[in-house]
Amino acid sequence: MNKVAVLIGSDTDRSTMEAADKYYEHFGIDCEILTMSAHRNPVEVHDFCTKAPSNGYKILVGAAGMAAHLAGAIKANSILPVIGVPLDGGILTGLDSVLATMQMPKGVPVATMSVGKSGAINAAILCAEIFALHDEEIREKLYDFKKNGAKL
């Protein structure tokens, strides 16, 4: 099963990440959005991430704003691919989130998307591309998606 967990730092981030729901659905990817903060719930993040593979998750997405440590905290606790989606917020209007998400130390890779809804959608498409390596049905849907100008 192609299963993804999207972790958001706050419930206020939910609507941004739900912008990608139709992409996950289109590509046949089971996606669950969970709220847990790297700062407020570090033990919960650790527990979830260490158990994610045995719970069927194949890719983890971390979406957070401002300090945006969530994707890094996820990666610190998992060998699964991690995609970071920086979110708008703070005095730098998302730039702080981009820098916090992409400036990972050597050996702790996080694929970083653009800020906000575009980043959420691109994360869903990247998940589809990863799954397409071993899933012919998703691969065909990606070919059609590209032929359609990268639009659903």
Mean pLDDT by 10 residues, the chain (152 residues): 96 97 98 96 97 98 93 97 94 90 95 97 98 98 98 94
The dihedrals phi and psi of 28, each to the nearest 5 degrees, come to: 75, 35
- The domain 3-147 having CATH identifier 3.90.850.10: the answer here is no
Are 13 and 64 contacting, i.e. CB atoms less than 8 angstroms apart?
yes
- According to DSSP, the β-strands at 111-112 and 3-8 are unpaired
The CA-CA-CA angle for residues 15, 21, 24, to 5°, reads 150
Global pTM value: 0.96
- Other CB atoms within a 10 A radius of the CB of residue 35 amount to 16
Kindly list the domain boundaries of the chain, sorted by start residue.
3-147
- According to DSSP, the β-strands at 82-87 and 30-35 are unpaired
Are 16 and 73 contacting, i.e. CB atoms less than 8 angstroms apart?
no
Which pLDDT score is estimated for 92? 87
Range list of H helices, 19-85: 21-26, 42-51, 70-76
